[in-house]
Amino acid sequence: MKKVTGIGGIFFKCKDTEAQRQWYGQHLGFKTDAYGTNFGWRHMDKPEKKGYSVWAPFPESTDYFEPSQKEFMINFRVDNLEELVNELKQAGISLIGEIQVYPYGKFAHIVDPEGNKIELWEDNDDKYENLTDKNVTA
């Protein structure tokens, strides 16, 4: 089974999320909103299909990265989240919480051997596209 298909997002803690969004917008051309920005791209095997990777600063006080004590979290795009979760469980890797389902995709969280929290995302890019039209960085 193909497990990870790409990077879904990079999330990091910072002291001032607004200042970070403004700096990246001014100096690197990011088109941001309150959540960060999205990088749009096309699937290699289906060029008519759009995909997105997210860049998002989080307040340094966020508990979203817990139980990790790291300052960042990477989101990986996956093809079949339930199947991957079953394989991970069989390998002795526990989920943090349960699979979460939203209109724009399914999410699960695990921790790697060094304590980095990983977010797994089975995307629904068609629904996600409706949310991202105004903040896609080319």
Domain ranges of the chain: 4-137
Contacts of residue 41, defined as CB under 8 A and 6 or more positions apart, other chains included, come to 50, 51, 52, 53
Give the separation between CA 16 and CA 137, rounded to whole angstroms. Answer: 21
Among residues 105, 104, 103, 106, which one has the least CA distance to residue 95? 106
User: Which CATH number does 4-137 carry?
Assistant: 3.10.180.10
Q: What is the pLDDT of residue 49?
A: 87
- Model confidence, pTM: 0.89
Q: What is the pLDDT of residue 46?
A: 87
Q: What is the pLDDT of residue 124?
A: 86
Handedness of CA 86, 89, 90, 91 (dihedral sign): positive
Contacts 24+ apart (CB under 8 A), 106-109: 106/81, 106/82, 107/81, 108/81, 108/84
Residue ranges, the chain, pLDDT below 50: none
